[in-house]
Amino acid sequence: MGAKAKTALKKNLKKRASQLALARRTDESSDFLPLEGGSGRNFPVAEKELVKDTATVLYVGHIPHGFYEDQMEGFFKQFGTIKRLRIARNRKTGKSKHYGFIEFENPEVAKVVADEINGYLLFEHNLQLQLFPPERVHPKLWKGVNKRYEPLHWREIQRKRHNKEKTVAEHQKMVQGILKRVEKRCKRIRDAGIDYECPELVGQIQPASKKIRFDDDDNNEA
């Protein structure tokens, strides 16, 4: 976002905040206006207005790729103090689910951000922001808020799994899987009308003696 866009956005936010403050003062003064033949009284406030005045948590949707915790905190902290921030991530891969939650200290700031940033175009994505009612905020919503995801080294995990020593039963299961796949491949070749003789693989996939871990009973019998 350029300098001109930031300046215009800040002016718009200040204008919106002043309008909210003026409207609040007007509402408070109008509540105490005396009626004809009666004294002034307070009018009941609508339930939706109460939610908007007390909600400090924002739901953020359509988060683009690359706009993660650090980037979101740097962007939204210019509007007010952020208490907590969390992006929903996949438990296995750690990738972003493209939605998250932000909690501000001031409910007025949260309302202004929800009104002004909703629909804001960022990296070809229109951010979706809306106030999260306080009754829907539960402790699990902020589970793992202070943790940063560390990607798993899947190549190293698969390498260790492939190179580990196998028992006789595990090796036989692996051989059966290889033979089953070779048989399916040869059947597809024959069905395609290709005259090809598949080589025998039984002698080529015998287990090496140093990679087999025999049980004690098998060693005693030998």
Please report, for the chain, the start and end positions of each structural domain, with discontinuous segments joined by +: 3-14+46-142, 154-221
pTM: 0.48
- In angstroms, rounded to a whole number, what is the distance separating the alpha carbons of residues 79 and 183? 65
Digit-coded pLDDT (tens) for 47-84 = 555 445 688 899 999 999 989 888 999 999 999 999 99
What's the fold here for domain 3-14+46-142? Alpha-Beta Plaits (3.30.70)
Digit-coded pLDDT (tens) for 175-185 = 889 889 988 99
Contact 59, 99 (CB under 8 A): yes
Mean pLDDT of 154-174: 87
Helices 107-117 + 47-54 axis angle, to 10: 100
Residues 6 or more apart from 69 whose CB is under 8 A from it? 85, 86, 87, 148
- In angstroms, rounded to a whole number, what is the distance separating the alpha carbons of residues 137 and 132? 7
Question: Helix, strand, coil % (nearest 5) of the chain?
Answer: 50, 15, 35
- In angstroms, rounded to a whole number, what is the distance separating the alpha carbons of residues 105 and 46? 23
Digit-coded pLDDT (tens) for 17-28 = 666 565 555 554
Residues 6 or more apart from 178 whose CB is under 8 A from it? 201, 205
Greatest CA separation for the chain: 111
